[in-house]
Amino acid sequence: MNSRKHKLTVAGPRSSLCCGKNRQATHGACHSLIVDQREVVRLWMKNRRPTRESAIGVDLAKNWNSQWSVSGGSFNPEDSNYIGVGPFSEPETRSVSRYIETIGPNLAGLLSFRAFGQRLLIPFAHSSEPMYNYNDMITIGRRAMGSLAVKYNTQYLVGTSRDVHDGSTGTIADWTKHRFNPPVVATYQLRDTIWGYTLPVNQNVKPISKGVKFCANKTVDETVLYLAEYVSVLSSPQDKNQLESFLNKTDIKFVITIPNIQELIDREKVATYTRSDLRSMTWNTYYKMEDINAWLDDLVSRYPSIVTPIVGGTTIEGREIKGIKISHGSGRKAVFVEGGIHAREWISIATVCYITNELLTNNDAETRAAAVDFDWYIFPVTNPDGYIFSHEVNRMWRKNRRPIGNQFGVDLNRNWNNNWLVAGSSSNPAADNYAGIGPFSEPESRTLSTYMRGIGDKIDLYLSFHSFGHLLLLPFGNTTQPIANYHDAMNIGRRAMGALSVRYGTKYVTGNIAEAIYLATGGSIDWVKEHLNVPLVYCYELRDNGTHGFLLPAEQILPNSQEVMDSVIDLIHQAKRFGYMSGAPDLKASFLIVVALISSLIF
């Protein structure tokens, strides 16, 4: 950017723009409008031009000379979105445009503020094509909305008006972008999505997140109760009537989301990977263990100078925990990625495979920088025995396959040596969350932890993938206290979840395990944080929010994986902003460009 001083224009509601040559007349018009809004019609949105005997006003938001009348407006003067007799027919828009003309060459940006809907709109409304610096603005916008979400977790969508709003043309933002092409032009559609234009004045109250905690000292064990938004219950056909009767008698509201879960299982898409054909690994179907291993082997063959095979450990049935390392040279810090520790969470495995593929094939500058600047240790399936069993015998299987009397399996994500068996786990071998006979009793968790210790001082970021619930979890699961670098991790995580929400509007809640979901100890991320002291540790609970649960339809694999990849790249970007994960020059450079732009704006 050159040495000239630049200006940022900020426009408020079109109904209160007051910039005309005749100051007295213009102020009078504004005063009249304010009186009309507050004392006559609270929901008035136009100016006060008499158009005919029974109709007054033009929608100033649609009266600008940029694709005027193309979409989103009306030619009927009685409608609230009446666009006038022509572009700039109104003195308000005409006079403000003249003022902007005088500073246009120095404009670095324009921000327009409106209500409601929680959107950040980027030009242009008449087309979905990526015009001008659209791609840069999407990146800048989603990061800004990630920052916006930090304080109260308010989620905004980012995109053109045509893509994420009503597609109305003739706006100040589109006119300014087309006329002067300043780098940053955006329109905020502010809170909220419920109250609309009558937003209560107390909307600075932090919303309640999932898993609001209530403690009751009912027993010596200090039982902790949770009030959650919902609880998912799976019932056998023979118990269905009894369950519904109990819920009705106790006035517990319920919705049957899946009447016949077996039908859903029978319809699941599972494909076969074709050996030596990397293109046959697609993102609209699930794969069995042998197919995933074959694909990993083919990646090693296809990228011999970058990808090497690694083995993280062994299973109770003697299988290897296979993975790959992606490295573009020595001396780099590492990102550790693992999925599939709970066998039935197939989407976690598909997501890890998708991330792997993106790191090797995507030519986007930031994705390439992330792939090149760090060593990636990736294990798609850390519970191979259980995953195979979930395909061949019991689709809803969660644990490994250790025989325990007439029962089978230990929950591997309750078996790590960190507050083992303290909360959220069971000592009953029949339970899904059975923690085993002791910490690291299972070869899967024990050998994988040994492998991690060998590279622990290299790991800057640890990512564990689970389903379901739309959550980004931080350590720890035994307390809601902000331990270690909790505040930095929260800030980074929430901003990255803002980036995740941009593509499809999926909203994640960020918090430590105990505050965001429930008390649960003995998991991998708590052990990694405390024993390896990894700076940033997160666990994703992926799609969805309970409608399909663990049986996420295959058609959601790609959108889920795309939005997660967006967030992983932004995690790295935000981590660098907060002083973590040093050594990614391309990402650092892109951030400095944004900083240089912002620092040059004069308000």
- Closest to 440 (Cα-Cα) out of 457, 431, 453, 456: 453
- Closest to 385 (Cα-Cα) out of 284, 285, 313, 294: 313
Cα(451)–Cα(436) distance, integer angstroms: 21
Of 290, 541, 555, 563, the catalytic one is 541
Cα(185)–Cα(170) distance, integer angstroms: 15
Give residue for tokens 């209160």.
16
Beta bridge partners of 473: 511, 539
Output phi, psi for 344, to 5 deg.
Answer: -75, -10
Beta bridge partners of 7: 107, 602
Q: What single letter denotes the amino acid at residue 359? A: L
* Number of neighbouring beta carbons within 10 Å of residue 255: 7
Could you tell me whether strands 107-115 and 184-190 are parallel, antiparallel, or unpaired per DSSP bridges?
A: parallel
Residue 591: asked if its preceding bond is cis (omega within 30°), the reply is no
* Number of neighbouring beta carbons within 10 Å of residue 239: 11
33 neighbors 47 (Cβ within 8 angstroms) = yes
Q: Taking each helix axis from N to C terminus, what angle separates 557-577 and 486-504, rounded to the nearest 10 degrees?
A: 140
- Closest to 157 (Cα-Cα) out of 175, 145, 140, 144: 145
Torsion, Cα 521 524 527 531, to 10 degrees, reads 180
* Number of neighbouring beta carbons within 10 Å of residue 153: 18
Burial (CB count within 10 angstroms: exposed 0-12, middle 13-18, buried 19+), residue 507:
middle
Alpha-carbon dihedral sign for residues 142, 144, 145, 147 = positive
101 is a catalytic site residue: no
Give residue for tokens 């940029």.
66
Q: What is the DSSP string of 195-253?
A: STTS--TTTTSPPPPSSEEEE---STT--EEEE-S-------GGGHHHHHHHHHHTT--
Please list, in sequence order, all residues whose beta carbon lies within 8 angstroms of the beta carbon of residue 378, skipping any fewer than 6 positions away: 323, 324, 325, 326, 337, 338, 352, 355, 356
Cα(223)–Cα(70) distance, integer angstroms: 62
- SS3 labels along 155-199: CCEEEEHHHHCCCCCCCHHHHHHHHHCCCEEEEEEECCCCCCCCC
Segment (H or E) for 499: helix 486-504
- Closest to 561 (Cα-Cα) out of 542, 580, 577: 542
- Closest to 410 (Cα-Cα) out of 394, 423, 418, 421: 421
Catalytic residues: 541
